[in-house]
């Protein structure tokens, strides 16, 4: 690692917290000048309605703009994987996480399903909160890779 890279790493680790507006703070590099800092603050204030600060602020993408589809190989037998058992502590945390995702509309309830992938629980080291992930390794074995061109 060169000296310049090491200096850059030090700059990334040194930051300061500034107040943008009531209830919202921002972490900026401590090496920024007052003019640069003010530039960031004014930019974020000007475009305040563009950024999402809570999950409920994210409204989604219109289907006309982008829809994701997973194409499966024609001879695939759909699989319902047996879910891992969770201890009570994780089970409650996963339920809270899924309830919050349901409430804001990121996920929705499906009563009849052909494919079930495993839920994997990942603990965040810093906060101890639970992150719920899907284990799609089995699905990856059965999907067809289709190169699509998106014109944005």
Nearest 5°: the CA angle 83, 136, 87 is 30
Are residues 120 and 136 in contact, defined by beta-carbon separation less than 8 angstroms? no
Contacts for 96-103 with beta carbons within 8 Å, 24 or more apart? Answer: 96/130, 97/130, 97/131, 97/132, 98/132, 100/55, 101/55, 101/132, 103/56
Q: Which CATH number fits domain 63-152: 2.40.50.100, 3.50.50.60, 3.10.10.10, 3.40.50.2020?
A: 3.10.10.10
- Name the residue ranges covered by the structural domains of the chain: 3-51, 63-152
For the residues 145-149, what does the mean pLDDT come to? 73
pLDDT tens digits for range 66-114: 677 788 888 888 888 888 888 888 888 889 888 988 888 888 888 877 7
**Which of 100, 132, 103, 138 is CA-nearest to residue 117?**
138
Distance CA 91, CA 86 (A): 6
Give tens-digit pLDDT for 32-73. 889 998 998 888 888 888 877 777 777 776 767 767 778 888
């Amino acid at each position: 690692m060169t000296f310049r890279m090491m200096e850059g790493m030090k700059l990334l680790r040194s930051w300061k917290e500034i107040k943008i507006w009531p209830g919202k703070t921002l972490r900026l590099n401590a090496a920024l000048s007052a003019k640069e800092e003010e530039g960031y603050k004014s930019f974020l204030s000007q475009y305040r309605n563009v950024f999402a600060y809570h999950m409920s602020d994210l409204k989604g993408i219109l289907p006309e703009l982008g829809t994701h589809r997973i194409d499966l190989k024609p001879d695939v037998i759909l699989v319902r994987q047996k879910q891992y058992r969770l201890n009570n502590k994780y089970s409650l945390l996963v339920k809270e996480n899924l309830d919050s995702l349901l409430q804001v509309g990121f996920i929705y309830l499906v009563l009849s399903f052909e494919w079930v992938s495993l839920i994997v629980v990942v603990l965040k080291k810093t906060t101890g909160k639970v992150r719920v992930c899907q284990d799609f390794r089995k699905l990856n074995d059965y999907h067809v890779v289709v190169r699509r061109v998106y014109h944005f």
